Structure formats: C-alpha cells, structure tokens
Structure 1
Amino acid sequence: MNPIFLAIILGEVAFWMFLALGLLCRYVWKKEKLSLVLLAATPLIDLFLLGVTFIDLSTGTKPTFFHGLSAAYIAFSIVYGHQTIKWADEWANHKWNNGTLPEKICLVGEAKKQEQWRSFYRFCKCSLIMLILIGSAFFIVPFQDTFWLIYWLIAIISSVFIWFIMGPLRLTTKKQDTPL
C-alpha cells in the first residue's frame, strides 16, 4: 500500500476519532476542557500529513496520485474542517444535550445565488491552497517526475472553471421568472 495513501487514511480516522471523542467529552462526560483540547488538536493531523508528504517527496520518491490527494485532503480540511466540526457539534448537542437542530432553510432566488457564490469562493480558497501545496512540490521534485503534480494542477484549475460555469454563473444568468 502506498505510504501517502495510508497516511491519508490514518489522518481521516484520527480526525473522526478526535472529533467523536471531543464531542463525547463535551456532551456525555461533561469534560469541557478536554473536549476543547481534542477538537483544537484536529489541525495537527493536517500538519502530520503535510510533513509525511513532503518528507516522502524530499527523499526522492516520485510523486504519485496520492501526493496530490494529500494536498486535496489538507486543503479541504483547512477550508471545510470548521464547518464539519460545527455540523457535528450541532448534531451532538441535539442528540446528547436535547438541543435543537438548526432549521434547514430552502434557498431561492437571490439568497440561492448568494449562497452559490459563497460556496464557490470557499471552493476557490480550497483550490488555491491545493495549488500552493502542489506548486511547492515542484521545488523538491525533478521536472521529469512531475506528471502527477501537473495532472493535479490541471484537475484543480478545470474543477474551478466547471464549478463556476455550472454553479454561480448559471444561476446569475438565469431569468428571474425561471425557477432555480
């Protein structure tokens, strides 16, 4: 098994373990400080994966698909991790603390367009972080070994354009009387 793929899997398992234990500490065992420590430690997983990836590349390993996937995982975690933790916290508060779940709002019209643009901007931030991480790998990898790095650059840039066309641009150019 590819060591970077294994590190990604371990990172994902560790994230959900830290999250679950943090929420159990907060809502079931009433250990607020321990909960904060566990939840605040989740970014350390990204640092671990970043370190493993760059150590692997700096020792002469040719980049693989999984090195790009590592950058995607780290970027996703940085941009969407807070939302994921917030969602899980609201669920745990509802499940174990008799809290109320936030009301789901059906967005239409201008509100839907604005949410589509916000979502696109978050994706652009995620893509920019991926591009920076993958781009930095070009400094430690010989050019002849950069196929997968170039592959990921093309995939990321293409995804941004496709998301833009299928998301905010499509909604922005629709006529007002057309249902969204």
Structure 2
Amino acid sequence: MIVGLIITCEVAFWVLLAAGLALRYLWRMPRTGLALLLCEPLLEVVLFAVTAIDLKNGAQPDWRHGLAAVYIGFTVGLGHATIRWADARVAHRFAGGPPPVRPPKYGMARAVHEWKVAGRWILASVVALALLQAAAWYVGGHGDTSSLRAWQTRMLWLIGINVVIAASYTLFPKRAPAGSPGKPVR
C-alpha cells in the first residue's frame, strides 16, 4: 500500500505541476494555477499521515516506510527547485518570458552553483534522516528498525557525495577554454 501511495504521489506531483502551469500560462489563469501548485505539499502530508497510521497499526517498519520518508525529504528539498525550473521553461515557451538562466560553466561561479545544488540535496537528505529517526523512535524497541537505519546510512552517503562534488568544483574550478568570451588569448 505504501509503495502504491508513493507512486500515486509522484504521478500526482507531475499532474498538478502540469495542470498548474497550463492554467497559469496557457489559459491565463495565474491565481488558479498558483492555487493548484500550492496543493503540492498536501500530497506529502497525506503520505506522511498514511505511513504514520500504518506504523501505529502495528506494521513492521521496512524499506517501504523508509522510502516514504526519503520521498518526503526529497520533495521538501528538491520540489520547489523543480517547480521553479519547470515554471521558467513554460513561461519562456508559452508566455514570452525570458529564457531560463543557465548555470555558470566555469570558475567560482560554477562552484557556488554546485554548493547551492548540494545544499538542496543535503536538505532533502537531512529531512529524510529526521523522518527516519522519528519513525525509529515511534516504533521504539517493539520492532526491527534495521531497514530504517539502512536508509539513514544511504542518506549520509548522499550527503557525503554531494559535499565531495561541490568541494571538487571549489578546489579544482573548471577553467574557461582559451579564446572563449571573457578569456584573454595568449
């Protein structure tokens, strides 16, 4: 049941996103589209409530409950950026908005961009870690929480990987090729 609900939430996320953007830009109903986009967090509230009820009713915590926590964490950490990304592209394509801003390619500007991306992934992981820990405490000593602990380990690895990637752009900034705009030719 939990996995089916996670899949339903993911499909509903994209349906609400598409419908909200269509209302905003195709049918020129920006307030209605915004209202629909603001319904997105309700999906995670429903998933959270169903997962908590499932655990309260005596279900043994397993990978499905961990996946629900991770899904909620990723939606919190990455959902807003995803909506902003899609909104910029739809506004440009269908409403004459400015072209979407591309991330910088070189130097410290790229490093700053990578730290911002890492920050979103770290936020997602920290929220998932907190939900996983809350689930482990909720179950207490009455159940096997090893699957929840395994998800926590994965989230810690994800944080580490994102820090390493962002740090690599800081320590070894990518240089613009010779002859590119803004780069003197020697």
Name the TM-score class by shorter chain.
0.7 to 0.9
Corresponding residue for residue 19 of structure 1: 17
Corresponding residue for residue 169 of structure 1: 167
4+ residue stretches of structure 1 with deviation over 4 A?
A: none
Corresponding residue for residue 35 of structure 1: 33
Task: Tell me whether 1:155 sits opposite 2:158 in the alignment.
Answer: no
72, 76, 82: which is aligned to 2:70? 72
User: Could you say if the C-alpha distance between residues 105 and 129 of structure 1 is closer, same or farther in structure 2, counting changes exceeding 3 Å?
Assistant: closer
Identity percentage of aligned residues: 34
The equivalences for 1:139-154 within 5 A come to 139-143=137-141, 144-154=143-153
Distance of 2:85 and 2:117 partners within structure 1: 16
Deviates more, 1:13-22 or 1:155-164: 155-164
Corresponding residue for residue 184 of structure 2: none
The equivalences for 1:80-99 within 5 A come to 80-99=78-97
Query: How many equivalent residue pairs?
Result: 175
Distance of 1:90 and 1:114 partners within structure 2: 21
Any conservation in 1 of the 2:25–2:90 contact (CA below 8 Å)? yes
125, 128, 131: which is aligned to 2:126? 128
Deviation at 1:9, TM superposition (A): 0.6
Listed as ranges, the gaps of 5+ residues in structure 1 are none
Deviation at 1:90, TM superposition (A): 1.5
Any conservation in 1 of the 2:104–2:113 contact (CA below 8 Å)? no
Listed as ranges, the gaps of 5+ residues in structure 2 are 177-186
User: Could you say if the C-alpha distance between residues 94 and 147 of structure 1 is closer, same or farther in structure 2, counting changes exceeding 3 Å?
Assistant: same
Deviation at 1:63, TM superposition (A): 1.5
Output the TM-score relative to the length of structure 1. 0.88
Q: Which residue type is aligned with residue 168 of structure 1?
A: A
Any conservation in 1 of the 2:122–2:162 contact (CA below 8 Å)? no
User: Could you say if the C-alpha distance between residues 95 and 57 of structure 1 is closer, same or farther in structure 2, counting changes exceeding 3 Å?
Assistant: same
Distance of 1:6 and 1:149 partners within structure 2: 19
Q: Which residue type is aligned with residue 57 of structure 1?
A: L
User: Could you say if the C-alpha distance between residues 171 and 92 of structure 1 is closer, same or farther in structure 2, counting changes exceeding 3 Å?
Assistant: closer
SS, match of residue 127 in structure 1: helix
Corresponding residue for residue 55 of structure 1: 53
Distance of 2:122 and 2:62 partners within structure 1: 23
CA displacement, residues 22-58 of structure 1 (integer Å, 9 cap, x when unaligned): 1111112222221121011111011011111111111
- RMSD between aligned residues: 1.9
